[in-house]
Amino acid sequence: MDCTYPKKEHLKSKTAIGLLFTEGKSVSKFPLRLVYHTQSSSEKPEIKVGVSVSKRYFKKAVDRNYFKRVLRETYRLNKHLIHDNCAQSLSIMLFYQTKDRLTFEEINTKTIQLFEKFRLQIENDTVK
């Protein structure tokens, strides 16, 4: 699997983002939170991902942008954990939810743990 984050994987649709907040399910691994919603789509499953860092925790845009870049990079490096086990189309939003300034390595470790927890939840949802 290629480790890229192309434009076609960016979550930009206002309707898809709205569905995430109204009907989405959530998985957390402090300080990260993943909200997802399954989509009815064509034959090829696709995953769209967005990232968010709250102004509540980081007042300066420079700080928010830094953590958004880190979240996108950790997704890019670990997206195989989601893509390899997913047979449906998903919209996913990643949130950084603390004012603590974690290092890249700490955030990467938490992202891997979050994706593993998410994978288990998806498997449980499809079994039910």
The 3-class secondary structure across 22-33, one letter per residue, is HHCEEEEECCEE
pLDDT digits (tens, 9 = 90+) for 1-52: 578 888 888 999 899 899 999 998 999 999 999 999 987 766 677 889 999 9
**Amino acid at site 6:** P
Is the pLDDT at 120 greater than 80, yes or no?
A: yes
pLDDT for the residue numbered 101: 94
The residue with tokens 């990467």 is 108
- Average model confidence (pLDDT) across the chain: 89
CB neighbour list of residue 23: distance below 8 Å, 6 or more residues apart:
37
How far is C-alpha 72 from the chain's CA centre? 9
- What are the boundaries of each domain within the chain? 7-127
Is the pLDDT at 126 greater than 90, yes or no?
A: no
Determine the Cα–Cα distance for residues 71 and 61; give it in Å rounded to an integer.
15
Look at domain 7-127 and name its CATH class.
Answer: alpha beta
Percentage helix, strand, coil for the chain under 3-state DSSP, each rounded to 5: 45, 25, 30
